[in-house]
Structure 1
Amino acid sequence: MLKTRNIAIGRLQAVESQSSVARRLNVSQSSISRLFTRFNQTGSTNDRRRSGRPRLTTPAQDSFIRVLHLRDRTSTGEGTAARIPELRRISGGQTVRNRLREHGLRARRPYVGNVLRGVHLVNRLRWCNNVMRWDLRNWRRV
């Protein structure tokens, strides 16, 4: 997000029109106008302070969450939350899922069920090929 803002400011300073920058970045022209006005007033493209609950995790913990998840892609949000050091208790792993979404990842639910190996698939295919020729009389015995 910050990178896109800096690209927009750079293009505007290179005397490109606001509408062409907006089209190129796929945002509205008014967003580019507000960004440029804020940049001229403050000299920065950072987000403004907002009211609301402060973030529960630091940027370092956010990247640690990402690394933990990339090491074990089948872990749940709750499982990842339990393994983060120096972190206040997170309810239900929602914070972890939010941080992963910011990085373009998802917390995966591990598959609960029988894992089919190659032998199982071959046996199933063989059974299906045999059953395919059955008539109604054979199916009544099942």
Structure 2
Amino acid sequence: MPRLSYVDKLRAVGQFEAGTRQRDVAALFGVRPGTISKLVAKFRATCDVKDMPPTGRPRATTPEQDRFLTRATLRDRSCLQRGCRHGFSDRYRRSVETSRRALCQLLHG
């Protein structure tokens, strides 16, 4: 199922408010009718269809840093012991523990 953009969400609510059936609006945007129902309910309650901000702590590493760490590790498996983590820490000013955690998450899911 595709994820609707903010503009598509507003268009879907507008279509529904204009009198188009919920089933037809859902077919037009390629989503389930329940999705349209939830969008309309959210719009009526808050006058907006924005997603809530994600919960949890923000990531400590950027996608660029993740790519660097992954590539360095895959190039030389022996650097897992100390070299890559310390090189990463020096380059990006992150703790060795942060780089270890990021590397484990990238390589093992």
TM normalised by structure 1 equals 0.39
Task: State the shift of 1:52 in Å.
Answer: 2.5
Alignment partner of 2:28 out of 12, 24, 27: 24
Alignment partner of 1:92 out of 51, 67, 78: 67
Identity among equivalent positions (%) equals 27
Q: Relative to structure 1, is the Cα distance of residues 15 and 28 closer, same or farther in structure 2, using a 3 angstrom cutoff?
A: same
Give secondary structure in 2 for the equivalent of 1:48: coil
Deviations 1:72-122 (A, max 9, x none): xxxxx8xxx4xxxxxxxx22259xxxxxxxxxxxxxxxxxxxxxxxxxxxx
**CA distance in structure 2 between the partners assigned to 1:46 and 1:36 by the alignment:** 12
What amino acid is aligned across from residue 5 of structure 1 in structure 2? Answer: K
Task: State the shift of 1:27 in Å.
Answer: 0.2
Tell me the equivalent position of 1:8. 12
**CA distance in structure 2 between the partners assigned to 1:93 and 1:10 by the alignment:** 44
What amino acid is aligned across from residue 8 of structure 2 in structure 1? Answer: T
What amino acid is aligned across from residue 22 of structure 2 in structure 1? Answer: Q
**CA distance in structure 2 between the partners assigned to 1:55 and 1:31 by the alignment:** 29
Give secondary structure in 1 for the equivalent of 2:67: coil
Deviations 1:52-85 (A, max 9, x none): 24367xxxxxxxxxxxxxxxxxxxx8xxx4xxxx
5+ residue gaps, structure 2, are 70-109
Alignment partner of 1:34 out of 14, 38, 61: 38
Higher RCO, 1 or 2 (CA under 8 Å, sep at least 6)?
2
What amino acid is aligned across from residue 92 of structure 1 in structure 2? Answer: R
Aligned residues: 64
What amino acid is aligned across from residue 20 of structure 1 in structure 2? Answer: D
What amino acid is aligned across from residue 52 of structure 1 in structure 2? Answer: G
Larger radius of gyration: 1
